[in-house]
Amino acid sequence: MTAEIIDGKKIAAEIQAELKQRIANLQKKGVTPKIVPVLVGEDPASLSYLRGITRTCGEVGVATETAKLPADATQQDLLKKIDELNKDHNVHGILLFLPLPKHLNALEAESAISPAKDVDGTNPISAGKLLLGEETFFPSTPYGVKELLVRSGHSPEGKHVVIVGRSNIVGKPLMGILVQKDKGANATVTVCHTGTKDTAAFTRQADILVAAVGKAKAITADMVREGTVVIDVGVNFIPDPATGKNKQVGDVDFEAVKEKAAAITPVPGGTGAVTSTMLMANTVRAAEAAAGT
C-alpha cells in the first residue's frame, strides 16, 4: 500500500479562502484584523518563523507589525510592550516568540498577554480553558493538526490517536483538543514520551499517529501498523549527500512509512504549511469578537 499524501498547502489554501471572506466582512465594518509578533533578540529559528508569518499575513490580508525588542531588554520592557499591545484597540492578536533570552521569564510574559488576544494560546488561562473544553484559542500547531485530519477526511472521532511527544506547544495541547467531547475530536488519546517504556508497542496500536518528537526519522516503519494515518509535526535539518546542503525532514521515516500508512503528511508541505494559517484563523476570530460579530 502506498499512502495518500495529505497536502498541507492545499488545506491551508482552503482555510485561507474562508478567512478572506470573513476579513472582507470585517472590513465592511472598518476593521482589519491585526497580529503583532513580539520578538526579543534575533533567534534564527524565530526569524525564519517570523518571515513565514509575515508572508501568510500578506496572502490572507491580516495586518502585521513586529514589535522588536533588543536581546538585552529587561522583563519590565517586555511586560510594558505587552501591556501597550493589550490596550491597543487596533491589535487583535499578540504572538510572543520563544525562546526568550535566558534572563527573561517566559511564563510571566505569556501570562501577561490578554486572553482575548492570545492567538497562540500560550497564556496559562488559555491552556487551562483548552483542557476544560471551554472556548479559547488553540495553539496554532495542534490546531493545524486537527484541521488537517478533519479536512482530509480522517476525523479523529472514535479513533485511537497516539501522540509521540508531550511538549507544552504541541503534544499536550493536541491531547487536550482531541480528547474533548467535540465534533472533529472525541478520540481516545495516548501520549508517549521518553518515560514511555515501549513507545513502539503504543504506536503500533494507533489509528492515527502524530509524531512531535524533534528527532529526524524517530518513527520508523516497524513502529507503524498497516493502514495508520500518520501526521508528522517534526521539522529537522539533516545533511543531504546529493546536494551537500542541509535538507528539511520530519520526525517520521517518510519513504519507508508511506508504504504502510493509509495517509501521511509530507515534510515540508504538511503540518508546517498549515500552522501560520491557523494563527491567522485565530486572529480573525479575535477581531470578530472585538467587533462584536
Rounded CA gap, 37 and 54, in Å?
A: 9
Residues 122-151 that bind ligand NAP (CB under 6 A): 141
Rounded CA gap, 111 and 171, in Å?
A: 20
Nearest residue (CB) to ligand NAP, 2 versus 194? 194
Rounded CA gap, 85 and 83, in Å?
A: 5
DSSP annotation of 219: B
Instruction: Give the binding range for ligand NAP (CB under 6 A) out of 18-26, 60-68, 159-167, 241-249.
Output: 159-167
**For residue 258, which amino acid is it?**
K
Q: Which three cell numbers, joined as nine digits, stand for 95?
A: 504572538
CB of 196 to ligand NAP, least distance (A): 6
> Are residues 226 and 211 in contact, defined by beta-carbon separation less than 8 angstroms?
no
Among 33, 121, 165, 266, interactor with ligand NAP by CB under 6 A: 165
Q: What is the DSSP string of 230-277?
A: EEE---EEEE-TTTSSEEEE-SB-HHHHTTT-SEE--SSSSHHHHHHH
Instruction: Give the binding range for ligand NAP (CB under 6 A) out of 13-21, 75-83, 213-221, 279-287.
Output: 213-221
Binding mask 68-97 toward ligand NAP (x if CB under 6 A, else -) reads ------------------------------
Instruction: Give the binding range for ligand NAP (CB under 6 A) out of 77-85, 147-155, 207-215, 281-289.
Output: 207-215
> Are residues 157 and 187 in contact, defined by beta-carbon separation less than 8 angstroms?
yes
Rounded CA gap, 15 and 291, in Å?
A: 21
Among 156, 171, 173, 176, interactor with ligand NAP by CB under 6 A: 171
Instruction: Give the binding range for ligand NAP (CB under 6 A) out of 28-36, 153-161, 168-176, 177-185.
Output: 168-176
The count of chain residues that interact with ligand NAP, using the rule CB under 6 A, is 27
The angle subtended at Cα 13 by Cα 8 and Cα 19, nearest 5°, is 125
CB of 55 to ligand NAP, least distance (A): 14
Q: Is 278 in the site for ligand NAP (CB under 6 A)?
A: no
The radius of gyration of the chain from alpha carbons, rounded to an integer in Å, stands at 19
Rounded CA gap, 41 and 78, in Å?
A: 12
Q: Is 46 in the site for ligand NAP (CB under 6 A)?
A: no
CA 99 and chain centroid, separation: 16
Q: Is 166 in the site for ligand NAP (CB under 6 A)?
A: yes
CB of 170 to ligand NAP, least distance (A): 4
Q: Which three cell numbers, joined as nine digits, stand for 179?
A: 480528547
Q: Is 10 in the site for ligand NAP (CB under 6 A)?
A: no
Instruction: Give the binding range for ligand NAP (CB under 6 A) out of 22-30, 94-102, 129-137, 271-279.
Output: 271-279
CA atoms within 13 A on the CB side of 110: 19
Residues 226-245 that bind ligand NAP (CB under 6 A): 233-236
Q: Which residues make up the interface to ligand NAP (CB under 6 A)?
A: 141, 164-167, 169-171, 192-196, 199, 212-215, 218, 233-236, 251, 271-272, 275
